[in-house]
Amino acid sequence: MSGSTLYSADVAADLPLWHVGALVAAVADALRARFNPVRVAGEVSGLTRAASGHVYFTLKDEQGQLRVAMFRRAVEAGGGHLLRDGAHIEMVGRLDVYAPRGDLQLIAERVRLAGQGSLYEQFLRLKAMLAAEGLFEAARKRTLPRYPTSLGVVTSPDAAALRDVATTLRRRAPHLPVRLYPAAVQGAEAPAQLCAALQRAYRDFETLGAPQVLLLVRGGGSLEDLWAFNDATLVRTIAQAPMPVITGVGHETDFTLADFAADVRAATPTAAAELCAPAREELLEALQRLRGRLRDAVERRLDERAQRLDRLAQRLGRPSQAVARQRQALLAHQHRLQRALQGWLLRQHQRHEAAQTRLQAALHARVPRERQRLLACAHRLPLAASGAWRRAQAQLQQAQARLALLDPQRVLERGYALVTDEAGHVVTDARRARLGQRLQMRLARGALRATVDAIAEDASAAILAPPRG
């Protein structure tokens, strides 16, 4: 007996009979009820993007493979840009059966790179933070020079990207000098080396004026492979570049934060080289066109000058006749100038003589009047001086009388005394004196020394009180 299970005719007759479509539908219902939704990981293979926007591919690993369909809505909203052949992804979707062929397939809803979901979330956080710093603003982007005279390339010397750039530049612009600034493009040391290479290029630009355009390039890879180009310090260093920077990192679908900070983002390293290096043949053709236009312009200008010279020669005629006419005109101008100068000198002489005559007449008339005024002033001066003396003497006598009235000696002669303490300060208030204090009293004639033995605040009481002892 073979290892296969054999059913007898009676048993087989008892089994339900399915139509193919119904059986496929039942299997599909069982799958949906048992498994959905599902989360599955694997490698993308046979990726196809339809004109409708839907994406079809196979998800596989070492043990098996599964057909996957991702419809346009999910492609646009669920990370479909991450899909490419060879990518390791994690996806969420629902199992189903494609009835026309009876194939098991997964309808994908969301996709992210396998094992790198946290990296992608970190990428989004870094992007938001750096965007808030204004590093991605379109206003700070610079246009590339149309015909750069020097280029710089920041990449690994062993990278295939460098060979692609060199091949493109050798083909399109072999005349351009190119300087390599080597740095690692993957790994933990890559961000620091890339920043150092950029700084070397910046110093060359500040001291030498070159390179005029800087290329930052690397070949394709996973998000983890390209992570060095998402470093925040590297992004800020790119934003500080004194020259335009072109990034060509990864493939067309790869985006890094360095791309957002650069002045221009190219899809590939080759495209970056093409952007900054116009084709040599195009430049030669343009130069040839300019040469033809310049030659035509020079020929036209020469023809115009020749015609003008012919017209001037016809108008000039014989040079000797023109010189004779100019000589006659010059002599006529000379005669008119001499006559005009002589007439002007004569008029000035006449004006001077007339002014001198008027001045002498005015002086003769004014001298007697001034002499009479001087004599009158000499007669009035003694009278005025005598009157002023008398007025000054009267004022002095009045001042002396007022001063005598204010003389303190006159007050002392009426019986008053000037009381001072030992320091010479005048005592005017009895409350400020002390018992036993020695005072000095100045009289109209002479002075007395006294000692305070009683103090009366009321002046009248002090006068009427009988003396002690």
CATH of the domain at 152: 3.40.50.280
- Quick one: 165 and 235 in the same domain? yes
- Quick one: 271 and 181 in the same domain? yes
- Quick one: 264 and 333 in the same domain? no
Q: What is the pLDDT of residue 442?
A: 84
| 126 assigned to some structural domain | no
Domain that holds residue 58: 11-115
Residue 104: burial class (beta carbons within 10 Å; 0-12, 13-18, 19+): middle
Alpha carbons 24 and 98: distance in angstroms, whole number:
9
> What SS3 class is residue 377?
helix
| 430 assigned to some structural domain | yes
| 2 assigned to some structural domain | no
**DSSP 3-state percent helix, strand, coil across the chain (nearest 5):** 50, 20, 30
| 444 assigned to some structural domain | yes
- Quick one: 246 and 301 in the same domain? no
| 138 assigned to some structural domain | no
- Quick one: 187 and 267 in the same domain? yes
What's CA 392's distance to the chain center, in Å? Answer: 82
- Quick one: 64 and 48 in the same domain? yes
Residue 272 has pLDDT above 60, yes or no: yes
The residue from 92, 115, 138 where one domain ends is 115
pLDDT in tens, 164-216: 999 999 888 888 899 999 999 988 899 999 999 999 999 999 999 889 999 99
Q: 204: which residues sit within 8 A by CB, 6+ positions away?
A: 152, 179, 210, 211
- Quick one: 164 and 233 in the same domain? yes
Q: What is the pLDDT of residue 218?
A: 92
| 407 assigned to some structural domain | no
Confidence of residue 468 (pLDDT cuts 50, 70, 90): low
Confidence of residue 301 (pLDDT cuts 50, 70, 90): confident
- Quick one: 274 and 158 in the same domain? yes
| 125 assigned to some structural domain | no
| 120 assigned to some structural domain | no
Alpha carbons 322 and 344: distance in angstroms, whole number:
33
Confidence of residue 4 (pLDDT cuts 50, 70, 90): very low
Specify the number of domains making up the chain: 5
- Quick one: 77 and 105 in the same domain? yes
- Quick one: 207 and 296 in the same domain? no
Q: What is the pTM of this model?
A: 0.44
Alpha carbons 290 and 278: distance in angstroms, whole number:
17
- Quick one: 177 and 227 in the same domain? yes
Residue 464 has pLDDT above 50, yes or no: no
pLDDT in tens, 17-51: 777 877 777 777 777 777 778 888 888 888 899 88
Q: What is the pLDDT of residue 223?
A: 73
- Quick one: 156 and 271 in the same domain? yes
Which residue, among 126, 224, 124, 243, has the nearest Cα to 181 in the 3D structure?
A: 243
Question: Please, what is the end-to-end C-alpha distance for the chain in angstroms?
Answer: 170
